[in-house]
Structure 1
Amino acid sequence: MRRSNTRIGKKVGIVAAAVAVAGTALLGPQAFAGQDPVTAAVQVGTLAKGPAPTEQSVRAERGPFAVKKQIVAPQSGRAFNKGTIYYPDDTSQGDFGAVAVIPGFLEPEFTTSWYGPTLASHGFVVITLEPIAITDFPDPRSSQLLAAVRWLATQSPVADRVDPDRLAVMGHSMGGGGTLIAASKNPDLKAAIPLAPWNLNPDFSDVTVPTLIVGADNDFIAPVAMHADPMAASLAGKPNQGYIKLKGANHFTTNGYTPTVTKFTVSWLKRYVDEDSRYTQFLCPNPQPDNTFVSFALTCPV
């Protein structure tokens, strides 16, 4: 149950255009060649945060919000380890959606910590995690993600800034596999973003959470042919499932700021966590490949 003192009200928006829904299944990049343009509605409801986005703003490492942070120390009996909270320093916007981010095998928190201030500056409360053990496989990482984002919304020092109904998860490598498992375990999540994901079983056909898989064409640790490609194929035919394959990228490309990764992760979270259709323009119609990504495939948002 959402706290009455932070409830933002009903989702009321101004619809400026009708949504044309792409009926194409997500079968891979080739399936989207020649796709008809999608005209998306621009709905600015009470969940929207920040000014109208531009191509420049979604690619920026820092968004419109000033950011504060708090260290989260280890605590006995808690289902996740230590981490860091990043949150917008703005109390005039109501509550925010929340995101938990976990790194991959043998990776400490700092390897994916850049997502904390970047996503927070774009209007989210974020916790970046140190895994309980850096050797944890995807399933325990999924449990840590879910425990952390739930704690962030209900018990953390900034819980009053978080909308507990708008939670998302992200992770790199085995953390990416854990992200997909978390989405399978909790269909109430608003978004999931696996980054260069690794998991022995790539079948996530039971996932209904809006999921953006980010793969890398030169990934030799989690080769896309064995991991990201079949993971995306297992989501085929479902709405709001995306797959971007980065060009000239390796397994660790997503562990540092790039304008392309920022553009699509921010747009995905804004579109599905904040239900802000102003960001649909960066996702639909499917962006054409450039010198930073090989392909983008998405059954466009409704």
Structure 2
Amino acid sequence: MAGLAALLVVGGLSTVATPAAQAADNPYERGPAPTTASIEAPTGPYAVSQTAVSSLGVTGFGGGTVYYPTSTSDGTFGAVAVSPGFTASQSSIAWLGPRLASQGFVVFTIDTLSRYDQPDSRGRQLLAALDYLTERSTVRGRIDSSRLGVMGHSMGGGGSLEAAKSRPSLQAAIPLTGWNTDKTWPEIQTPTLVVGADGDTVAPVASHSEPFYESLASSLDKAYLELNNATHYTPNSSNTTIAKYSISWLKRFIDNDTRYEQFLCPLPRPSLTIEEYRGNCPHAS
């Protein structure tokens, strides 16, 4: 009996020690262990605050809105800048701000210098927004400047590819129904999730999202999510599938949080909301 008790004690100690060991291995984990329900939920575990950034107080982009976890008890967070598409303002991608921030990110939805800016310009503006966020913003103390990502819709999606190409230190890129005249991106070193829509007639997947994805290096952590029964403008309103896989991608690569690998690998199967999903699992640690 004494021997059995000793084994139980050792087993208990081992179980208690495991989370601490995991936390020590990855100091960037934020929030509780994820579940399908938690990443599909409209709001995550963090209360969110927001602050407006006037175009008059910045250079290189058009201002925007910063969404961030209200609490500072967990330390710093990774940050993501998000660009709207052609002729659009930040309001068109505003839903991503609180949705992503509530999962443990600082999110900057930006306005561009002109509503007609092309992808290369939007890419530079995304980087200018990240620089402002980490160097001058009122929330810079909440951000880990080594853990940054970019997202964008349409021309903003093309811009996110441009930003990743220009700044290899970025940890994640997510073009949403992206548009760009450049179809090949072998230079990108940033883990990239390309999101297309099966019914997109503005940036058809056959001439945009699919060649974007296929041109990325085979050694790169990359994935292609094609939304089912969706259009070019699907990313402009709250969408559970976009949120679920964007959160998982950002967590996995900005936070190096392998707890989210389960939602990316094995590859998600076609469903009512997924037309197709490609990727090179398993992702490197």
Scaled by the length of structure 2, the TM-score of the pair is: 0.90
User: Which segments of 5 or more consecutive residues in structure 2 lack a partner in the other structure?
Assistant: 1-18
Task: Say if 2:152 is the partner of 1:171.
Answer: yes
Question: Following the alignment from structure 2 to structure 1, what is the Cα–Cα distance between the partners of residues 183 and 189?
Answer: 15
Question: Following the alignment from structure 1 to structure 2, what is the Cα–Cα distance between the partners of residues 149 and 138?
Answer: 17
- Kindly state the Cα deviation for residue 14 of structure 1 after the two structures are TM-superposed: 4.0
Q: What letter matches 2:255 in structure 1?
A: D
- Kindly state the Cα deviation for residue 298 of structure 1 after the two structures are TM-superposed: 1.1
Runs of 4+ in 1 over 2 A off after TM superposition: 12-15
User: Which segments of 5 or more consecutive residues in structure 1 lack a partner in the other structure?
Assistant: 1-11, 16-41
Deviation track 1:213-245 (CA, whole Å, cap 9, x = no partner) reads: 000000000001110011011015123111100
Question: Which of residues 269, 272, 275 in structure 1 aligns to 2:250?
Answer: 269
- Kindly state the Cα deviation for residue 82 of structure 1 after the two structures are TM-superposed: 1.4
Question: Following the alignment from structure 2 to structure 1, what is the Cα–Cα distance between the partners of residues 75 and 58?
Answer: 31
- Kindly state the Cα deviation for residue 75 of structure 1 after the two structures are TM-superposed: 2.5
Q: What letter matches 2:39 in structure 1?
A: V
Scaled by the length of structure 1, the TM-score of the pair is: 0.85
Question: Following the alignment from structure 2 to structure 1, what is the Cα–Cα distance between the partners of residues 179 and 24?
Answer: 35
1:178-189 to structure 2, matched below 5 A, reads: 178-189=159-170
Counterpart in the other structure of 2:208: 227
1:1-302 to structure 2, matched below 5 A, reads: 14=21, 45-75=26-56, 78-300=59-281, 301-302=283-284
- Kindly state the Cα deviation for residue 155 of structure 1 after the two structures are TM-superposed: 1.0
Distance change >3 Å, CA 219–CA 164, structure 1 → 2: same
- Kindly state the Cα deviation for residue 295 of structure 1 after the two structures are TM-superposed: 1.1
Question: Following the alignment from structure 1 to structure 2, what is the Cα–Cα distance between the partners of residues 216 and 14?
Answer: 41
What secondary structure does 1:75 align onto?
helix
What secondary structure does 2:56 align onto?
coil
* Superposition RMSD in Å: 1.6
Larger Rg: 2
Whether contact under 8 Å (1:112, 1:128) holds in the other structure is: yes
Deviation track 1:246-288 (CA, whole Å, cap 9, x = no partner) reads: 0010001111111111110000000000110000000001011
Structure with the greater relative contact order (CA < 8 A, sep ≥ 6): 1 or 2?
1
Higher helix residue share: 2
- Figure out how many residues of one structure are paired with residues of the other and give that number: 265
Deviation track 1:23-53 (CA, whole Å, cap 9, x = no partner) reads: xxxxxxxxxxxxxxxxxxx996210000000
Q: Which moved more, 1:234-243 or 1:108-117?
A: 234-243
